[in-house]
Chain A
Amino acid sequence: MAFKAKRLSVLAVCGAGVGSSIMMKANAEEVLEKHGVRARVTAADITSAKGNSPDVLVTTLDIYKVIKDIKAGEVVILENMVSMKELEEKLVPACKKVLERMKEK
Protein backbone atom coordinates (compact mmCIF):
# COMPACT_ATOMS: atom_id res chain seq x y z
CA MET A 1 0.00 0.00 0.00
CA ALA A 2 1.36 3.38 -0.97
CA PHE A 3 2.27 5.69 1.84
CA LYS A 4 -0.34 8.40 2.18
CA ALA A 5 1.08 11.50 3.80
CA LYS A 6 -0.84 12.69 6.83
CA ARG A 7 -1.86 16.33 7.01
CA LEU A 8 0.62 18.02 9.34
CA SER A 9 -0.43 20.63 11.89
CA VAL A 10 1.57 23.85 11.83
CA LEU A 11 1.02 26.57 14.43
CA ALA A 12 2.14 30.15 13.73
CA VAL A 13 2.36 32.32 16.86
CA CYS A 14 2.69 36.08 17.35
CA GLY A 15 1.86 38.45 20.23
CA ALA A 16 -1.84 39.11 19.65
CA GLY A 17 -2.50 36.43 17.03
CA VAL A 18 -4.38 38.63 14.58
CA GLY A 19 -1.75 40.26 12.34
CA SER A 20 1.70 38.75 11.89
CA SER A 21 0.73 35.18 12.69
CA ILE A 22 -1.99 35.29 10.03
CA MET A 23 0.61 36.60 7.58
CA MET A 24 2.98 33.77 8.60
CA LYS A 25 0.09 31.37 8.05
CA ALA A 26 -0.51 32.75 4.55
CA ASN A 27 3.21 32.50 3.72
CA ALA A 28 3.51 28.99 5.18
CA GLU A 29 0.52 27.78 3.16
CA GLU A 30 2.10 29.11 -0.03
CA VAL A 31 5.52 27.62 0.70
CA LEU A 32 4.17 24.21 1.73
CA GLU A 33 1.86 24.00 -1.27
CA LYS A 34 4.84 24.72 -3.52
CA HIS A 35 6.73 21.79 -1.99
CA GLY A 36 3.73 19.49 -1.92
CA VAL A 37 3.57 19.20 1.86
CA ARG A 38 0.02 18.70 3.11
CA ALA A 39 -0.50 20.78 6.21
CA ARG A 40 -3.15 22.62 8.15
CA VAL A 41 -1.72 25.93 9.31
CA THR A 42 -3.34 27.87 12.15
CA ALA A 43 -2.54 31.24 13.72
CA ALA A 44 -2.53 31.88 17.46
CA ASP A 45 -1.57 34.44 20.09
CA ILE A 46 0.74 33.75 23.05
CA THR A 47 -2.09 33.09 25.50
CA SER A 48 -3.99 30.53 23.43
CA ALA A 49 -0.89 28.95 21.86
CA LYS A 50 -0.10 27.28 25.17
CA GLY A 51 -1.86 23.93 25.44
CA ASN A 52 -1.43 23.12 21.75
CA SER A 53 0.86 20.35 20.53
CA PRO A 54 1.44 21.04 16.85
CA ASP A 55 3.74 19.02 14.59
CA VAL A 56 5.62 22.21 13.80
CA LEU A 57 5.68 25.48 15.73
CA VAL A 58 6.63 28.65 13.81
CA THR A 59 7.46 31.84 15.71
CA THR A 60 10.15 34.39 16.56
CA LEU A 61 12.72 34.22 19.36
CA ASP A 62 11.15 36.84 21.65
CA ILE A 63 7.79 35.06 21.50
CA TYR A 64 9.36 31.61 21.86
CA LYS A 65 10.96 32.65 25.16
CA VAL A 66 7.45 33.00 26.61
CA ILE A 67 5.92 29.83 25.11
CA LYS A 68 8.83 27.41 25.19
CA ASP A 69 6.84 24.83 27.21
CA ILE A 70 4.74 23.98 24.17
CA LYS A 71 5.24 20.39 23.03
CA ALA A 72 5.92 20.64 19.33
CA GLY A 73 7.45 18.04 17.01
CA GLU A 74 9.75 20.64 15.51
CA VAL A 75 10.31 24.29 16.33
CA VAL A 76 11.05 26.84 13.60
CA ILE A 77 12.39 30.17 14.89
CA LEU A 78 12.35 32.96 12.33
CA GLU A 79 14.68 35.93 12.48
CA ASN A 80 12.53 37.77 9.96
CA MET A 81 8.95 36.70 10.57
CA VAL A 82 7.76 37.73 7.10
CA SER A 83 10.65 36.50 4.94
CA MET A 84 9.40 33.87 2.50
CA LYS A 85 12.96 32.75 1.78
CA GLU A 86 13.83 32.11 5.43
CA LEU A 87 10.50 30.38 5.98
CA GLU A 88 11.09 28.12 2.99
CA GLU A 89 14.60 27.23 4.16
CA LYS A 90 13.53 26.38 7.70
CA LEU A 91 9.91 25.18 7.54
CA VAL A 92 10.16 22.69 4.66
CA PRO A 93 13.02 20.63 6.20
CA ALA A 94 11.25 20.72 9.58
CA CYS A 95 8.06 19.32 8.03
CA LYS A 96 10.03 16.64 6.15
CA LYS A 97 11.70 15.60 9.44
CA VAL A 98 8.32 15.14 11.11
CA LEU A 99 7.03 13.14 8.12
CA GLU A 100 10.13 10.91 8.20
CA ARG A 101 9.54 10.18 11.86
CA MET A 102 5.91 9.27 11.14
CA LYS A 103 6.95 6.85 8.41
CA GLU A 104 9.37 5.09 10.73
CA LYS A 105 6.67 4.37 13.28
Chain B
Amino acid sequence: MEVINFIATEIIGNPGILFALITLLGMLLLKKSFPDIVMGVVKTIIGYLILVLGCGPLQSATTPVGAWINDMLGVQGIVPQNWIIMSTATAQVGSQIGLAVLVGFIVNLILARITTLKNVALTGHILVIWASWAVGVLVAYPGVGFLAVVLIAGIFCGIYSWLSSAVSYHFMKKSGRMTDEFSLYVPEITGIALTSWLSPIVGNKDKRCDEIEVSENLEWLRDTTVSVSVIATVIWTIFGLIAGPERVAAYADGQNWVIYLLFLGLNFGMGLTVVLFGVRMMLAEIVPAFKGISTRLIKGAIPGLDYPTVFQFAPMAVFIGFLANLVGGILATLVMTFTGMPVVVLPAVWMNFWTGGTLGVFADAYGGRRACIIVNLILGFLAPFGWALAYPTSGIFSALNATNDYTDSSTIGLLYQWFVKLIFGGN
Protein backbone atom coordinates (compact mmCIF):
# COMPACT_ATOMS: atom_id res chain seq x y z
CA MET B 1 0.00 0.00 0.00
CA GLU B 2 2.81 2.36 0.93
CA VAL B 3 4.47 1.85 -2.42
CA ILE B 4 1.24 2.65 -4.26
CA ASN B 5 0.73 5.68 -2.08
CA PHE B 6 4.29 6.85 -2.78
CA ILE B 7 3.81 6.46 -6.54
CA ALA B 8 0.46 8.24 -6.44
CA THR B 9 1.49 11.24 -4.36
CA GLU B 10 5.21 11.69 -4.99
CA ILE B 11 5.53 10.61 -8.62
CA ILE B 12 2.17 11.03 -10.36
CA GLY B 13 1.40 13.84 -7.91
CA ASN B 14 4.49 15.73 -9.05
CA PRO B 15 3.58 17.48 -12.33
CA GLY B 16 7.21 17.98 -13.37
CA ILE B 17 7.89 14.24 -13.14
CA LEU B 18 4.56 13.40 -14.76
CA PHE B 19 5.16 15.62 -17.80
CA ALA B 20 8.70 14.17 -18.04
CA LEU B 21 7.23 10.65 -18.00
CA ILE B 22 4.88 11.56 -20.87
CA THR B 23 7.88 12.90 -22.83
CA LEU B 24 9.85 9.73 -21.99
CA LEU B 25 7.01 7.52 -23.19
CA GLY B 26 6.70 9.47 -26.46
CA MET B 27 10.44 9.43 -27.13
CA LEU B 28 10.72 5.71 -26.36
CA LEU B 29 7.87 4.96 -28.77
CA LEU B 30 9.73 6.94 -31.44
CA LYS B 31 12.98 5.08 -30.59
CA LYS B 32 14.99 8.24 -29.95
CA SER B 33 18.66 7.96 -28.97
CA PHE B 34 19.71 7.87 -25.31
CA PRO B 35 21.28 11.39 -25.21
CA ASP B 36 18.17 12.83 -26.89
CA ILE B 37 15.94 11.17 -24.31
CA VAL B 38 18.01 12.44 -21.37
CA MET B 39 17.93 15.96 -22.81
CA GLY B 40 14.20 15.84 -23.52
CA VAL B 41 13.31 14.56 -20.05
CA VAL B 42 15.50 17.06 -18.18
CA LYS B 43 14.26 19.97 -20.31
CA THR B 44 10.64 18.99 -19.69
CA ILE B 45 11.09 19.10 -15.89
CA ILE B 46 13.02 22.39 -15.96
CA GLY B 47 10.48 23.85 -18.39
CA TYR B 48 7.73 23.01 -15.92
CA LEU B 49 9.64 24.62 -13.03
CA ILE B 50 10.23 27.79 -15.09
CA LEU B 51 6.54 27.90 -16.02
CA VAL B 52 5.57 27.82 -12.32
CA LEU B 53 8.12 30.56 -11.64
CA GLY B 54 6.47 32.87 -14.21
CA CYS B 55 3.06 32.40 -12.62
CA GLY B 56 3.88 34.65 -9.61
CA PRO B 57 4.78 37.86 -11.50
CA LEU B 58 1.87 37.34 -13.91
CA GLN B 59 -0.57 37.20 -11.00
CA SER B 60 0.94 40.02 -8.95
CA ALA B 61 0.85 42.26 -12.02
CA THR B 62 -2.86 41.62 -12.61
CA THR B 63 -4.25 41.69 -9.05
CA PRO B 64 -3.91 45.48 -8.44
CA VAL B 65 -5.81 46.49 -11.59
CA GLY B 66 -8.73 44.28 -10.62
CA ALA B 67 -8.66 45.65 -7.08
CA TRP B 68 -8.73 49.32 -8.23
CA ILE B 69 -11.73 48.66 -10.42
CA ASN B 70 -13.41 46.86 -7.54
CA ASP B 71 -12.65 49.71 -5.16
CA MET B 72 -13.83 52.46 -7.55
CA LEU B 73 -16.92 50.88 -9.05
CA GLY B 74 -17.77 48.11 -6.62
CA VAL B 75 -17.52 45.59 -9.47
CA GLN B 76 -15.14 42.77 -10.27
CA GLY B 77 -12.37 43.70 -12.73
CA ILE B 78 -10.84 40.75 -14.56
CA VAL B 79 -7.90 40.33 -16.92
CA PRO B 80 -8.46 37.99 -19.86
CA GLN B 81 -5.20 36.06 -20.22
CA ASN B 82 -5.06 32.30 -20.73
CA TRP B 83 -1.40 32.00 -19.63
CA ILE B 84 -2.49 33.08 -16.12
CA ILE B 85 -5.09 30.32 -16.18
CA MET B 86 -2.56 27.76 -17.38
CA SER B 87 0.30 28.69 -15.05
CA THR B 88 -1.95 28.94 -11.98
CA ALA B 89 -3.68 25.63 -12.63
CA THR B 90 -0.52 23.70 -13.50
CA ALA B 91 1.12 25.00 -10.33
CA GLN B 92 -1.85 23.82 -8.25
CA VAL B 93 -3.22 20.71 -9.95
CA GLY B 94 -0.61 19.97 -12.61
CA SER B 95 -0.82 16.19 -12.34
CA GLN B 96 -4.51 16.03 -13.13
CA ILE B 97 -3.82 18.35 -16.08
CA GLY B 98 -0.94 16.25 -17.42
CA LEU B 99 -3.05 13.10 -17.23
CA ALA B 100 -6.09 14.84 -18.75
CA VAL B 101 -3.93 15.93 -21.71
CA LEU B 102 -2.77 12.34 -22.15
CA VAL B 103 -6.32 10.92 -21.87
CA GLY B 104 -7.57 13.62 -24.26
CA PHE B 105 -4.88 12.80 -26.81
CA ILE B 106 -5.71 9.08 -26.66
CA VAL B 107 -9.46 9.82 -27.03
CA ASN B 108 -8.67 12.00 -30.05
CA LEU B 109 -6.53 9.24 -31.61
CA ILE B 110 -9.29 6.65 -31.09
CA LEU B 111 -11.95 8.94 -32.60
CA ALA B 112 -9.75 9.76 -35.60
CA ARG B 113 -8.97 6.08 -36.09
CA ILE B 114 -12.55 4.76 -36.00
CA THR B 115 -14.44 7.62 -37.70
CA THR B 116 -14.03 9.33 -41.07
CA LEU B 117 -12.83 12.58 -39.47
CA LYS B 118 -9.07 11.99 -39.41
CA ASN B 119 -8.25 15.13 -37.43
CA VAL B 120 -5.64 15.06 -34.67
CA ALA B 121 -5.09 18.17 -32.54
CA LEU B 122 -1.37 18.89 -32.13
CA THR B 123 -1.22 22.44 -30.74
CA GLY B 124 0.56 21.36 -27.56
CA HIS B 125 0.18 24.48 -25.44
CA ILE B 126 -3.52 24.79 -26.23
CA LEU B 127 -4.06 21.15 -25.28
CA VAL B 128 -2.49 22.04 -21.91
CA ILE B 129 -4.34 25.36 -21.50
CA TRP B 130 -7.73 23.87 -22.36
CA ALA B 131 -7.11 20.94 -19.98
CA SER B 132 -5.92 23.38 -17.29
CA TRP B 133 -9.20 25.23 -17.48
CA ALA B 134 -11.37 22.05 -17.71
CA VAL B 135 -9.58 20.56 -14.67
CA GLY B 136 -9.58 23.84 -12.72
CA VAL B 137 -13.36 24.12 -13.09
CA LEU B 138 -13.91 20.54 -11.86
CA VAL B 139 -11.55 20.49 -8.87
CA ALA B 140 -13.48 23.35 -7.25
CA TYR B 141 -16.30 20.90 -6.51
CA PRO B 142 -15.37 18.82 -3.45
CA GLY B 143 -17.34 15.77 -4.55
CA VAL B 144 -15.16 15.06 -7.61
CA GLY B 145 -12.23 12.72 -6.95
CA PHE B 146 -8.81 12.66 -8.65
CA LEU B 147 -9.66 9.95 -11.15
CA ALA B 148 -13.05 11.47 -12.00
CA VAL B 149 -11.42 14.84 -12.69
CA VAL B 150 -8.85 13.25 -15.01
CA LEU B 151 -11.44 11.18 -16.89
CA ILE B 152 -14.17 13.83 -17.25
CA ALA B 153 -11.76 16.60 -18.25
CA GLY B 154 -9.71 14.24 -20.43
CA ILE B 155 -12.65 12.83 -22.36
CA PHE B 156 -14.19 16.29 -22.76
CA CYS B 157 -10.87 17.70 -24.04
CA GLY B 158 -10.36 14.75 -26.40
CA ILE B 159 -13.77 15.08 -28.02
CA TYR B 160 -13.49 18.85 -28.13
CA SER B 161 -10.03 18.97 -29.70
CA TRP B 162 -11.01 16.40 -32.33
CA LEU B 163 -14.26 18.15 -33.25
CA SER B 164 -12.68 21.58 -33.14
CA SER B 165 -9.96 20.53 -35.60
CA ALA B 166 -12.58 18.94 -37.86
CA VAL B 167 -14.78 22.07 -37.91
CA SER B 168 -11.90 24.42 -38.72
CA TYR B 169 -10.79 21.97 -41.42
CA HIS B 170 -14.26 22.11 -42.97
CA PHE B 171 -14.27 25.90 -43.17
CA MET B 172 -10.66 26.13 -44.36
CA LYS B 173 -11.29 23.67 -47.17
CA LYS B 174 -14.66 25.17 -48.14
CA SER B 175 -13.23 28.69 -48.50
CA GLY B 176 -11.11 27.56 -51.45
CA ARG B 177 -8.57 30.19 -50.39
CA MET B 178 -6.75 28.27 -47.69
CA THR B 179 -5.73 24.61 -47.70
CA ASP B 180 -6.92 21.03 -47.27
CA GLU B 181 -3.54 19.74 -46.07
CA PHE B 182 -3.88 20.70 -42.42
CA SER B 183 -6.36 22.29 -40.05
CA LEU B 184 -6.32 24.49 -36.98
CA TYR B 185 -6.63 23.32 -33.43
CA VAL B 186 -7.50 26.53 -31.63
CA PRO B 187 -10.41 27.13 -29.24
CA GLU B 188 -12.21 29.37 -31.72
CA ILE B 189 -14.61 27.04 -33.53
CA THR B 190 -17.69 29.07 -32.69
CA GLY B 191 -15.81 32.18 -33.82
CA ILE B 192 -14.62 30.52 -37.03
CA ALA B 193 -18.11 29.16 -37.84
CA LEU B 194 -19.81 32.52 -37.14
CA THR B 195 -17.18 34.37 -39.18
CA SER B 196 -17.52 32.01 -42.13
CA TRP B 197 -21.32 32.40 -42.10
CA LEU B 198 -21.47 36.15 -41.45
CA SER B 199 -18.69 37.32 -43.75
CA PRO B 200 -20.41 36.68 -47.11
CA ILE B 201 -23.44 38.62 -45.80
CA VAL B 202 -21.60 41.72 -44.57
CA GLY B 203 -18.73 41.83 -47.06
CA ASN B 204 -17.53 41.32 -50.60
CA LYS B 205 -15.03 38.50 -51.02
CA ASP B 206 -13.41 40.09 -54.06
CA LYS B 207 -12.24 43.21 -52.22
CA ARG B 208 -9.53 41.72 -50.04
CA CYS B 209 -7.31 43.03 -47.28
CA ASP B 210 -4.05 42.58 -49.14
CA GLU B 211 -4.80 45.66 -51.24
CA ILE B 212 -4.43 47.77 -48.10
CA GLU B 213 -0.98 48.98 -47.05
CA VAL B 214 0.02 49.04 -43.39
CA SER B 215 2.92 51.25 -42.34
CA GLU B 216 6.22 49.49 -41.64
CA ASN B 217 6.31 51.44 -38.39
CA LEU B 218 3.69 49.04 -37.04
CA GLU B 219 5.71 45.89 -37.80
CA TRP B 220 7.03 45.76 -34.22
CA LEU B 221 3.52 44.83 -33.06
CA ARG B 222 4.20 41.36 -34.49
CA ASP B 223 6.59 40.77 -31.60
CA THR B 224 3.68 39.86 -29.37
CA THR B 225 5.62 39.85 -26.10
CA VAL B 226 6.64 43.44 -26.74
CA SER B 227 3.27 44.59 -28.06
CA VAL B 228 1.44 43.02 -25.10
CA SER B 229 3.77 44.70 -22.59
CA VAL B 230 3.44 48.08 -24.26
CA ILE B 231 -0.33 48.04 -24.83
CA ALA B 232 -0.96 46.56 -21.36
CA THR B 233 1.18 49.32 -19.84
CA VAL B 234 -0.85 51.96 -21.66
CA ILE B 235 -4.24 50.52 -20.67
CA TRP B 236 -3.29 49.86 -17.03
CA THR B 237 -1.71 53.28 -16.70
CA ILE B 238 -5.01 54.80 -17.79
CA PHE B 239 -6.88 52.75 -15.16
CA GLY B 240 -4.21 53.61 -12.55
CA LEU B 241 -4.49 57.32 -13.28
CA ILE B 242 -8.28 57.15 -12.95
CA ALA B 243 -7.90 55.23 -9.68
CA GLY B 244 -5.57 57.97 -8.41
CA PRO B 245 -2.27 58.11 -6.45
CA GLU B 246 -3.66 56.81 -3.16
CA ARG B 247 -5.12 53.61 -4.50
CA VAL B 248 -2.03 52.92 -6.61
CA ALA B 249 0.36 53.71 -3.75
CA ALA B 250 -1.42 51.18 -1.56
CA TYR B 251 0.06 48.46 -3.80
CA ALA B 252 3.38 50.15 -4.58
CA ASP B 253 5.16 48.97 -1.43
CA GLY B 254 6.89 52.32 -0.88
CA GLN B 255 7.91 52.78 -4.52
CA ASN B 256 6.97 56.00 -6.32
CA TRP B 257 3.41 55.40 -7.56
CA VAL B 258 4.02 56.58 -11.12
CA ILE B 259 7.09 54.39 -11.59
CA TYR B 260 5.24 51.48 -10.00
CA LEU B 261 2.32 51.99 -12.36
CA LEU B 262 4.55 52.08 -15.44
CA PHE B 263 6.36 48.92 -14.37
CA LEU B 264 3.15 47.01 -13.75
CA GLY B 265 2.59 46.36 -17.46
CA LEU B 266 6.29 45.62 -17.98
CA ASN B 267 6.24 43.12 -15.10
CA PHE B 268 3.25 41.53 -16.76
CA GLY B 269 5.25 41.22 -19.99
CA MET B 270 8.14 39.74 -18.00
CA GLY B 271 5.89 37.12 -16.37
CA LEU B 272 4.46 36.25 -19.77
CA THR B 273 7.93 35.85 -21.29
CA VAL B 274 9.02 33.56 -18.45
CA VAL B 275 5.88 31.43 -18.78
CA LEU B 276 6.31 31.15 -22.56
CA PHE B 277 9.97 30.18 -22.11
CA GLY B 278 8.98 27.39 -19.73
CA VAL B 279 6.15 26.20 -21.95
CA ARG B 280 8.49 26.08 -24.94
CA MET B 281 11.04 23.97 -23.05
CA MET B 282 8.33 21.68 -21.75
CA LEU B 283 6.58 21.12 -25.09
CA ALA B 284 9.52 21.15 -27.54
CA GLU B 285 9.97 17.40 -26.99
CA ILE B 286 6.37 16.30 -26.23
CA VAL B 287 4.77 17.76 -29.36
CA PRO B 288 7.11 16.08 -31.89
CA ALA B 289 6.45 12.79 -30.06
CA PHE B 290 2.66 13.30 -30.26
CA LYS B 291 3.05 14.10 -33.96
CA GLY B 292 5.17 11.03 -34.67
CA ILE B 293 2.73 8.74 -32.86
CA SER B 294 -0.34 10.12 -34.65
CA THR B 295 1.17 9.79 -38.14
CA ARG B 296 2.18 6.19 -37.38
CA LEU B 297 -1.21 5.17 -35.98
CA ILE B 298 -3.61 7.02 -38.28
CA LYS B 299 -3.37 6.79 -42.03
CA GLY B 300 -4.05 10.19 -43.62
CA ALA B 301 -4.07 12.00 -40.26
CA ILE B 302 -4.80 15.72 -40.63
CA PRO B 303 -2.88 17.72 -38.03
CA GLY B 304 -4.72 20.47 -36.13
CA LEU B 305 -2.17 23.26 -35.74
CA ASP B 306 -1.60 26.65 -34.10
CA TYR B 307 -3.05 30.07 -35.06
CA PRO B 308 -0.20 31.51 -37.19
CA THR B 309 -0.20 28.56 -39.60
CA VAL B 310 -3.11 30.28 -41.41
CA PHE B 311 -1.59 33.78 -41.28
CA GLN B 312 0.22 33.07 -44.57
CA PHE B 313 -3.09 33.00 -46.46
CA ALA B 314 -3.78 36.71 -45.83
CA PRO B 315 -1.01 38.48 -43.86
CA MET B 316 -2.69 41.87 -44.03
CA ALA B 317 -6.01 40.47 -42.78
CA VAL B 318 -4.15 39.36 -39.65
CA PHE B 319 -3.19 42.91 -38.89
CA ILE B 320 -6.52 44.49 -39.71
CA GLY B 321 -8.35 41.71 -37.85
CA PHE B 322 -6.17 42.28 -34.78
CA LEU B 323 -6.85 46.01 -34.69
CA ALA B 324 -10.61 45.61 -35.26
CA ASN B 325 -10.83 42.87 -32.60
CA LEU B 326 -8.90 45.03 -30.12
CA VAL B 327 -11.20 48.00 -30.76
CA GLY B 328 -14.20 45.70 -30.17
CA GLY B 329 -12.65 44.56 -26.87
CA ILE B 330 -11.96 48.12 -25.70
CA LEU B 331 -15.56 49.10 -26.54
CA ALA B 332 -16.79 46.14 -24.48
CA THR B 333 -14.72 47.30 -21.49
CA LEU B 334 -16.18 50.80 -21.79
CA VAL B 335 -19.77 49.53 -22.09
CA MET B 336 -19.31 47.21 -19.08
CA THR B 337 -17.82 50.03 -17.03
CA PHE B 338 -20.55 52.57 -17.78
CA THR B 339 -23.54 50.23 -17.59
CA GLY B 340 -22.55 48.90 -14.16
CA MET B 341 -22.11 45.23 -15.07
CA PRO B 342 -21.06 43.13 -12.04
CA VAL B 343 -17.93 41.98 -13.89
CA VAL B 344 -15.77 44.28 -16.03
CA VAL B 345 -13.41 42.56 -18.48
CA LEU B 346 -10.26 44.50 -19.38
CA PRO B 347 -9.02 44.47 -22.99
CA ALA B 348 -7.24 41.18 -23.73
CA VAL B 349 -4.59 42.45 -26.24
CA TRP B 350 -2.71 39.11 -26.46
CA MET B 351 -5.72 37.14 -27.67
CA ASN B 352 -7.04 40.09 -29.68
CA PHE B 353 -3.96 39.46 -31.81
CA TRP B 354 -4.30 35.66 -32.20
CA THR B 355 -8.11 35.49 -32.33
CA GLY B 356 -8.50 38.68 -34.36
CA GLY B 357 -5.75 37.65 -36.76
CA THR B 358 -7.17 34.19 -37.35
CA LEU B 359 -10.80 35.28 -37.67
CA GLY B 360 -9.45 38.04 -39.94
CA VAL B 361 -8.04 35.43 -42.31
CA PHE B 362 -11.36 33.54 -42.40
CA ALA B 363 -13.36 36.77 -42.80
CA ASP B 364 -11.09 37.90 -45.63
CA ALA B 365 -11.48 34.58 -47.44
CA TYR B 366 -15.28 34.62 -47.12
CA GLY B 367 -16.07 38.34 -47.27
CA GLY B 368 -13.01 40.47 -47.97
CA ARG B 369 -11.78 43.47 -46.00
CA ARG B 370 -15.17 44.84 -45.03
CA ALA B 371 -16.05 41.53 -43.38
CA CYS B 372 -12.62 41.42 -41.74
CA ILE B 373 -13.34 44.70 -39.96
CA ILE B 374 -17.08 44.27 -39.23
CA VAL B 375 -16.98 40.65 -38.02
CA ASN B 376 -13.94 41.26 -35.81
CA LEU B 377 -15.52 44.37 -34.29
CA ILE B 378 -18.69 42.38 -33.49
CA LEU B 379 -16.99 39.25 -32.14
CA GLY B 380 -14.26 41.23 -30.34
CA PHE B 381 -17.07 43.17 -28.65
CA LEU B 382 -19.31 40.18 -27.81
CA ALA B 383 -16.76 37.64 -26.54
CA PRO B 384 -15.88 39.56 -23.32
CA PHE B 385 -19.58 39.49 -22.30
CA GLY B 386 -19.43 35.69 -22.50
CA TRP B 387 -16.27 35.65 -20.37
CA ALA B 388 -17.95 37.93 -17.82
CA LEU B 389 -20.94 35.58 -17.73
CA ALA B 390 -18.65 32.55 -17.34
CA TYR B 391 -16.44 34.07 -14.63
CA PRO B 392 -18.52 33.15 -11.53
CA THR B 393 -18.67 29.44 -12.43
CA SER B 394 -15.02 29.12 -13.48
CA GLY B 395 -14.02 27.05 -10.43
CA ILE B 396 -10.58 27.80 -8.97
CA PHE B 397 -10.25 30.72 -11.42
CA SER B 398 -13.27 32.58 -10.05
CA ALA B 399 -11.08 34.10 -7.32
CA LEU B 400 -8.20 34.92 -9.63
CA ASN B 401 -9.28 38.16 -11.36
CA ALA B 402 -8.44 36.38 -14.61
CA THR B 403 -10.19 34.35 -17.28
CA ASN B 404 -9.51 32.23 -20.34
CA ASP B 405 -10.06 34.44 -23.37
CA TYR B 406 -10.85 32.35 -26.42
CA THR B 407 -14.09 32.77 -28.38
CA ASP B 408 -15.07 29.25 -27.31
CA SER B 409 -14.55 30.18 -23.64
CA SER B 410 -17.63 32.38 -23.97
CA THR B 411 -19.72 29.69 -25.72
CA ILE B 412 -18.71 26.03 -25.37
CA GLY B 413 -16.69 26.85 -22.25
CA LEU B 414 -19.67 28.54 -20.63
CA LEU B 415 -21.89 25.52 -21.37
CA TYR B 416 -19.28 23.13 -19.91
CA GLN B 417 -19.10 25.18 -16.71
CA TRP B 418 -22.88 25.28 -16.33
CA PHE B 419 -23.08 21.56 -17.02
CA VAL B 420 -20.41 20.78 -14.40
CA LYS B 421 -22.24 23.00 -11.90
CA LEU B 422 -25.54 21.28 -12.67
CA ILE B 423 -24.07 17.83 -12.03
CA PHE B 424 -21.71 18.50 -9.10
CA GLY B 425 -22.90 21.81 -7.67
CA GLY B 426 -26.03 20.48 -5.95
CA ASN B 427 -26.29 20.75 -2.19
Q: Which residues of A contact B (CB under 8 A)?
A: 14-20, 22-23, 25-26, 29-30, 42-48, 60, 62-63, 65-66, 79-83
Contact = CB atoms under 8 A, between A and B. Distances in A.
B284 A16 contact: no
B323 to A, nearest CB: 16
A22 B287 contact: yes
Given A18-B279, A22-B280, A45 B225 contact: yes
Interface of B: 122-126, 179, 181-182, 219-220, 222-226, 273, 276-277, 279-280, 283-284, 287-288, 291-292, 303, 305-309, 311-312, 315
Interface centre among A15, A18, A60 (most CB of B within 10 A): A18
Contacts of B288: 22, 25-26, 29
Main secondary structure of the interface of B (DSSP, over half): helix
A57 to B, nearest CB: 16
9 contacts: A15-B224, A18-B125, A19-B124, A19-B308, A23-B305, A47-B225, A79-B312, A81-B312, A83-B181
Contact of A16 (B276, B305, B311): B276
Contacts of B220: 66
B276 A18 contact: yes
B284 A42 contact: yes
A25 B312 contact: no
Contact of A46 (B125, B126, B222, B277): B222
Contacts of B287: 22-23, 26
B273 A22 contact: no
A23 B122 contact: yes
B337 to A, nearest CB: 30
Contact of B291 (A26, A43, A80): A26
Given A22-B287, A23-B287, A29-B288, A66 B223 contact: yes
Given A15-B308, A22-B280, 9 more contacts: A15-B222, A17-B280, A19-B307, A22-B124, A22-B288, A29-B288, A42-B284, A43-B284, A81-B312
Contacts of A23: 122, 287, 291, 303, 305-306, 309
Contacts of A18: 124-125, 276, 279-280, 283, 306
A26 B280 CA distance: 13
B223 A20 contact: no
B219 A22 contact: no
B312 A60 contact: yes
Contacts of B226: 47
Contacts of B309: 19-20, 23, 81-82
Given A16-B276, A19-B126, A19-B305, A25 B222 contact: no
Contacts of B284: 22, 25, 42-43
Nearest to A26: B288
A26 B306 CA distance: 14
B126 A63 contact: no
A14 B308 contact: yes
Contacts of B219: 65-66
B23 to A, nearest CB: 13
A-B complex: 6 closest residue pairs judged by Cβ atoms: A19-B306, A26-B288, A46-B223, A18-B125, A47-B225, A22-B287
B105 to A, nearest CB: 15
Contacts of B122: 23
Nearest to B316: A62
A79 B79 CA distance: 35
A60 B125 CA distance: 21
Contacts of A17: 276, 280
Contacts of B273: 47-48
Nearest to B319: A62
A18 B127 CA distance: 12
B143 to A, nearest CB: 35
Contacts of B123: 19
A85 to B, nearest CB: 9
Nearest to A43: B284
A42 B125 CA distance: 16
